[in-house]
A and B are shown apart, each in its own frame.
Chain A
Amino acid sequence: MALAEPAAPSTAGPPQDHFVSIRDVDLVYGRGETGMQALGGASIEVQKGGFAAVVGPSGCGKSSLMKLVTGLLPPTKGTISVAGKIVDGPVNVAGMAFQNPTLLPWRSTLQNIMLPLEVVEPHRRKLRRNRKDYEAQAHDLLAAVGLTGFADRAPWQLSGGMQQRASLCRALIHQPELLMLDEPFGALDAFTREELWSVLQKLWMERRFTVILVTHDLREAVYLADTIHVMSARPGRIVASRKVPLAYPRTLEDTFKPEFVDIVHELRHHISRERQAVS
């Protein structure tokens, strides 16, 4: 049984070694009376190499969190730091993937995956000279997500699940230390989604980047994350944080085990309470 020895989350390192730290952050869109408060006093800490999931009722400002951590939006109050530095502009250590795979239709799958390299330093300067090496890396990633042989296909030739795999590759090509995922599997059918859980888990276990996953799917959160943060309704703050003491790698079999189901129930309970608070 996975729980025979309470497996510590395999993220080693001293507990104060937070790779991402969100401290008491407020975020208000607009100004004055018309301002809409998306976040109110949200705090999350994620260790280096950790896998955090953020769940919550819809419209609780989960996606705002993504923009804050990647430096696309400044917080109204509070501080955010990534890799020991206060975030005050776009952090280029992050890769992002969304529910919409947003592949560019005029580029082949390989060219789509290489896109971040054309933008992010220091790869940008080296790309021309080391194109062969970078292409090899891209092919490795494609192989890791099960897309071997699809490099030269146009995105429209790929199914939804394959496009999402390619989108994951694009998020990882510049070897980011932080992967931000905003409901990446939300638009996929249940079987494809479960398949991609294991693809993502495998990539994460091999490469050990830090992940923040925003999701609606509680089973997905429990399957993948070592820590799950439950957000309140707007203005969002963290109402509960739950470690998931299941050993990695987790399998689909694990999702039917009582300890797995218990955690899902517990999370569901938190969220339904938050939803009632609104209505």
Chain B
Amino acid sequence: MTDTVSSPAAAPKRRFQINDNWAPWMVGIGALVIWELACRIFAIKPFVLPAPTAIAASLWKWHEVIAVHAAQTLYTTLLGFLLAVVGGLALGVAVGYSRFLYKALYPILIGFNSVPKVAIVPILVIWFGIGTIPAVITAFLLSFFPIVVNVAAGLATVEPEMEDVLRSLGASRRDIFFKVGLPRSMPYFFASLKIAITLALVGSVISETIASNSGIGYLMLNASARFDVPLVFAGLFVVAVLGVLIYAVFAMFETRFTGWATRAQAIRFEGGG
């Protein structure tokens, strides 16, 4: 019909249309198929690289154990993340609000952030023993920095003209903070949550791998010690799924609460004037 008119070169070939929402699934499934075939054709030993079917079998076989450990990981991740949201929001607001605190704290925060958090876990173990507490703290330490930086950035980028307008009307700094600064920093805050939650998961798993007797990290370490490589991969798969799921939840929050920040890029209403 119209293809013959619009693009004669492409007209003879009738390609079937693929909705690009399916693209990631197709790539993922394709990769798994190639992986499976490679394992079978080259007869790769399962303790080197288990085939996807072997991983799936292990996942099914151990699903009860995995569920317990996944719940533990999710628990420490969310608890650490929650602390990071509270602490990060408070510190971000303080740093963004007060020039003095910004000067005083920012270099220290940056210095602190450049310390690899894995190196802190042994210290946490000395203080708190192994298990839940170091995992929660590691999750907190990894995830709170992006929240602080983003909230502070949102507060610091209030247009000076907007401040002038309000100050000339006799607005206090508090007024400007609540009417302009805080709402303005919300998109930054929600964007940082997506980054922070995945970092919290990384923190939890790191800590569990080093010092814990429960959680997915511990499960994987334990499995690899027994050369149960399919179970190691099953653990990896579970971590990946957890990461994607919690990311999706916070991406949803972001569009729900600060849609105005992304809608601004949508087509403008063109009217006279």
Binding site for B on A (CB under 8 A): 66-67, 70-72, 90-92, 94, 96, 98, 100, 102, 104-106, 115-116, 118-121, 146-147, 150, 153-154, 156-159, 161-162, 165, 170-171, 174, 180, 192, 195-196
Q: In the bound complex, what is the Cα–Cα distance between A98 and B273 (angstroms)?
A: 17
B175 beta carbon closer than 8 Å to chain A: yes
A72 contacts B260, CB within 8 Å? no
User: Could you say which residues of chain A place their CB within 8 Å of the CB of B61?
Assistant: none
Task: Give the contacts of B180-224 with A (CB-CB under 8 A).
Answer: 180, 183-184, 186
User: Could you say which residues of chain B place their CB within 8 Å of the CB of A180?
Assistant: 168
User: Could you say which residues of chain B place their CB within 8 Å of the CB of A171?
Assistant: 165
User: Could you say which residues of chain B place their CB within 8 Å of the CB of A94?
Assistant: 168-169
Starting from the known contacts A90-B167, A96-B161, A165-B273, 14 additional A-B residue pairs (CB-CB under 8 Å) come to: A92-B169, A98-B161, A100-B159, A104-B162, A105-B264, A106-B260, A116-B165, A116-B169, A120-B170, A146-B273, A156-B260, A156-B263, A159-B271, A192-B273
B179 contacts A154, CB within 8 Å? no
B156 beta carbon closer than 8 Å to chain A: no
Take A70-B164, A159-B268, A159-B271 as given contacts and tell me if A154 and B260 are in contact as well, using a CB distance cutoff of 8 Å: yes
Q: Which residue of B169, B183, B269, B270 is within 8 Å of A104 (Cβ)? A: B183
A119 contacts B264, CB within 8 Å? no
Take A70-B164, A96-B164, A154-B260 as given contacts and tell me if A119 and B170 are in contact as well, using a CB distance cutoff of 8 Å: yes
Q: Which residue of B lies closest to A178 (CB)?
A: B168
Q: Which residue of A96, A105, A158, A192 is within 8 Å of B165 (Cβ)? A: A96
Least Cβ–Cβ distance between B42 and chain A, in angstroms:
56
B171 beta carbon closer than 8 Å to chain A: yes
Q: In the bound complex, what is the Cα–Cα distance between A66 and B175 (angstroms)?
A: 22
Tell me how many residue pairs across A and B have CB atoms closer than 8 Å. Answer: 95
Q: In the bound complex, what is the Cα–Cα distance between A106 and B182 (angstroms)?
A: 11
B68 beta carbon closer than 8 Å to chain A: no
User: Could you say which residues of chain B place their CB within 8 Å of the CB of A159?
Assistant: 268-271, 273
User: Could you say which residues of chain A place their CB within 8 Å of the CB of B183?
Assistant: 104, 106
Take A158-B269, A159-B273, A162-B271 as given contacts and tell me if A72 and B164 are in contact as well, using a CB distance cutoff of 8 Å: yes
User: Could you say which residues of chain A place their CB within 8 Å of the CB of B261?
Assistant: 105-106
A161 contacts B273, CB within 8 Å? yes
A92 contacts B273, CB within 8 Å? no
User: Could you say which residues of chain B place their CB within 8 Å of the CB of A91?
Assistant: 168
Least Cβ–Cβ distance between A225 and chain B, in angstroms:
21
Least Cβ–Cβ distance between B236 and chain A, in angstroms:
41
Least Cβ–Cβ distance between A233 and chain B, in angstroms:
24
User: Could you say which residues of chain A place their CB within 8 Å of the CB of B271?
Assistant: 150, 158-159, 162
User: Could you say which residues of chain B place their CB within 8 Å of the CB of A105?
Assistant: 260-261, 264
User: Could you say which residues of chain A place their CB within 8 Å of the CB of B270?
Assistant: 159
User: Could you say which residues of chain B place their CB within 8 Å of the CB of A153?
Assistant: 269
A102 contacts B260, CB within 8 Å? no
B41 beta carbon closer than 8 Å to chain A: no
B56 beta carbon closer than 8 Å to chain A: no
User: Could you say which residues of chain B place their CB within 8 Å of the CB of A67?
Assistant: 164
Least Cβ–Cβ distance between A22 and chain B, in angstroms:
16
User: Could you say which residues of chain B place their CB within 8 Å of the CB of A174?
Assistant: 169
Q: In the bound complex, what is the Cα–Cα distance between A243 and B162 (angstroms)?
A: 32
Q: Which residue of B175, B266, B268, B273 is within 8 Å of A119 (Cβ)? A: B175
B242 beta carbon closer than 8 Å to chain A: no
Q: In the bound complex, what is the Cα–Cα distance between A174 and B170 (angstroms)?
A: 13
A-B contact pairs, 23 of them (CB 8 A): A72-B164, A72-B167, A90-B167, A90-B170, A92-B168, A92-B170, A96-B161, A98-B165, A100-B159, A102-B159, A104-B183, A105-B260, A118-B179, A119-B170, A119-B171, A119-B175, A120-B169, A154-B263, A156-B268, A158-B268, A159-B270, A159-B273, A192-B273
Q: Which residue of B lies closest to A150 (CB)?
A: B271
Q: Which residue of B lies closest to A162 (CB)?
A: B273
User: Could you say which residues of chain A place their CB within 8 Å of the CB of B161?
Assistant: 96, 98, 100, 102
B263 contacts A119, CB within 8 Å? no
Report the 6 A-B pairs with minimum CB-CB distance, sorted nearest first: A161-B273, A70-B168, A157-B269, A156-B264, A120-B169, A92-B170
